[in-house]
Amino acid sequence: MATKTNSQRHLQNWPRQPLQDIDNLLPKKSPQIKLRHGQVLWLLTELGYRGAVSSSAFFEYIKSLRKLGIPFGHKRFQTKDRRKLADYSYCHVMELALTLSLRVYHVVPDTVLRGIVHYRSQLCRFYRRAYAERRSGAGRPTLLRVKGRKRLKGRKPIELRGLFLDLNIEFSGGHLVRFGPPKLLSSTETLARFSESSLSGRAFMPLSLSLLSERVTALALRAPDIRSGPPKSAS
């Protein structure tokens, strides 16, 4: 991993800091991330993707995604003597996090996985832009004020910021009829998209990609030194 900044050291020394409160501590530019498999499993668990399943079951599910090309494609990490362990970059971790965000009844449809793989290069650019424009560019904050006769005393305006990802996924009769092209949306564009009546049959709505990028980066910068491989216990 790259040399740590003061903010990164602060993150590591503050392991209980809520993820939603650490935006000001994160580096402005996306740092170089290089994690081992065990660290990635820890990160995804901290994000809540493991849920109530055992650590061994979660490990096997991530392993099954890897066989389907998530997040490394269909490369084989083999040497003559032993299995070569892959390093996970920022884009690799973001792809896993995005994939797990799309689970329906604990699994992601294979057709959706193929769509993610197909648009991998474009999505990686989106991951980086979503982090860079968390509070600037198309992701600059937008304040919403509720109008009406009855206003709750002391209610603050709602702040929306960052970029959102719309994968343009549509299902019909249990079958995928559309995937992509992916599109980044501003907060105001996302609100407009949510208000469209044509979205009533959509299986997946726009995802807050900037928020996800913040959480992934914050956890990656304070990931403990964990061995790679399956957990010792099933708890």
DSSP-derived secondary structure for 89-137:
-HHHHHHHHHHHHT-BTTB--HHHHHHHHHTHHHHHHHHHHHHHTSSSG
Burial 126-145 (b: 16+ CB within 10 A, else e): bbbbbbbbbeeebbeeeeee
- The dihedral through the CA atoms of 100, 172, 119, 134 has a sign that is negative
* DSSP tag of 171: E
Residues in the chain, total: 235
Read off the pLDDT of residues 156-171 as tens digits, 9 standing for 90 and up: 788 889 999 999 888 7
The b/e string for 173-189 (b: 16+ C-beta within 10 A; e otherwise) is eeebeebeebebbbbeb
Residue 31 is encoded by which pair of tokens? 């740092």
Task: Specify the pLDDT at position 233.
Answer: 47
- Terminal-to-terminal C-alpha distance of the chain: 29
Query: For 70, phi and psi rounded to 5 degrees?
Result: -105, 120
Domain locations in the chain? 6-139+158-221
> What per-residue confidence (pLDDT) applies to 235?
46
Sign of CA dihedral 217, 223, 227, 229: negative
CB atoms closer than 10 angstroms to residue 53:
14
pLDDT at residue 231 above 80? no
Handedness of CA 37, 16, 105, 97 (dihedral sign): negative
CB-count burial class (<10 Å; 0-12, 13-18, 19+) for 69? middle
59-79 confidence digits (pLDDT tens): 999 999 999 999 999 875 554
31-62 pLDDT tens trace: 899 999 999 999 999 999 999 999 999 999 99
Q: How far is CA 67 from CA 39, 44, 73, 88, 97, in A?
A: 19, 18, 8, 15, 16
Q: What is the mean pLDDT of the chain?
A: 82
**Residues of the chain with pLDDT > 70: what percent?**
76
Which comes out higher in pLDDT, residue 203 or 169?
169
Is this structure's pTM higher than 0.75?
A: yes
Q: Which residue has the tokens 């494609």?
A: 73
